[in-house]
Amino acid sequence: MKKICSLLSLYFLFNTTMALRLSTPFRPSFTSIQTSSNQTTLCKLVHYATLAPSSHNTQCWRFRINEAVKTITVLPDFKRRCPTVDPDDHHLFVTLGCAVENLVVAAQAHGYNPKVDASSPEDGIRIKLYPGDGSPAAKTREELFEAIPKRQVSRCEYDGKPLSQEELRQLEEAGTSTSEDVNVRVLLITDRDKMNHIRDHVIGSNTVQMNDANFKNELCSWVRFNENDATAHGDGLYGKCTGNPALPTVIGKMIFNLVARAGTENKKIVKQVESSAGFAVFVSARNDPRHWVEAGRCYERFALTATVLGIRNAFLNQPVEVEEARPQFSAMVGLEQMERPDLIVRFGKGPAMQVSPRRPVEDVVEWTDE
């Protein structure tokens, strides 16, 4: 019985405590909603925006399209928030930033010159689409656009080899804010001793989370234990891509609550960090939604650039999610008093994983003429 429980623990902790990726059929292709070519183009842009990452794959966004004035507004969907792991909606607004960056890159690839207004993210982030001028600068993001459907969070072990200085330079440049109004920077940490210090903070915070019944219940609510659930919801965490058998939802939830423990997950974290080339810590100058959105944009540029370079990445955000652990982590990486650590990302070369499900575009779009 002890051996069976151990195997079940490995199965469920591997497939639910991290945002895993699914096979391609679960990520629906673009479906035309309207008949006019312009409206179809704007919906295509939304499709690329929805391929952004989100905590627990909640897809906590909506998109309002105004065809007359060529605007797309990215709105928070607070019905999909995670109040336990993300009580201040930090991850929610980071997610919106990731979606905005995808939309901007896709709009440029479609010949537009997008301008973003994120002055009041709680009310929506407005992207105005102006005609592009066809200049070479407008074409520099073509590789990033092609990387959007390939980008993934790879929760596997990497090859442990260091990256070149040029690769690190490109990642740092991509992950640093270019905005004049908000300041977000990325710290690339490749020193093994410092990486091990970060690992220890991750393990400590992961232990806190896995011993929190509310955290586990919230996590479990986003787990899709079988293909029917994953297909019906088009969201959440589903582990079929690992080759493990599906289970009826009721049984899956019972076993999850019995075997979800910190110990096995912490051992996996050790191996993941050992196999990684480094950590990227994204840092906001101020702790407010505008900066969180910008942090999401910076991360998404980082992730798309990494995809172009054949570099994988995955979140280990536990020390920024556990509020009491955040100050100690901030001090350890040398942040200033007003700065907030937004995301902790490990990176390295490794195999591609499969992609996660997405809801159809028509489920997240609304139209307006105002």
pTM (two decimals): 0.89
Distinct helix (H) and strand (E) counts, the chain: 13, 11
Going residue by residue through the chain, which has 370 residues, state the pLDDT in tens, using 9 for 90 and above.
444 444 444 444 434 443 333 333 345 444 334 434 455 899 999 999 999 999 999 999 999 999 999 999 999 999 999 999 999 999 999 999 999 999 999 999 999 999 999 999 999 999 999 998 876 655 457 999 999 999 999 989 999 999 999 999 999 999 999 888 899 999 999 999 999 999 999 999 999 999 999 999 999 999 888 888 888 999 998 765 444 567 888 888 888 877 778 998 999 999 999 999 999 999 999 999 999 999 999 999 999 999 999 999 999 999 999 999 999 999 999 999 999 999 999 999 999 887 788 999 999 999 998 7
Q: Helix 262-274 crosses helix 192-210 at what angle (to 10 degrees)?
A: 160
Domain contains 260:
no
DSSP string, 146-202: HHTTT-----S----PPPPHHHHHHHHHHTS---SS--EEEEEE--HHHHHHHHHHH
In a domain, 268, yes or no: no
Token pair for residue 312? 């994988």
Number of domains making up the chain: 1
Q: Is residue 289 part of a domain?
A: yes
Sign of CA dihedral 251, 252, 253, 259: positive
Which amino acid belongs to residue 230?
A
> How far is 30 from 293, CA to CA, in rounded Å?
25
In a domain, 168, yes or no: yes
Q: Report the alpha-carbon distance of residue 332 to residue 200 in Å, rounded.
A: 11
Q: What CATH number did the domain enclosing 181 receive?
A: 3.40.109.10
Does the CA dihedral 155-158-160-162 come out positive or negative?
A: negative
Q: Is residue 43 part of a domain?
A: yes
Is residue 11 included in any domain, yes or no?
no
Q: Domain for residue 187, yes or no?
A: yes
Domain assignment present for 69: yes
Domain that holds residue 141: 24-194+273-367
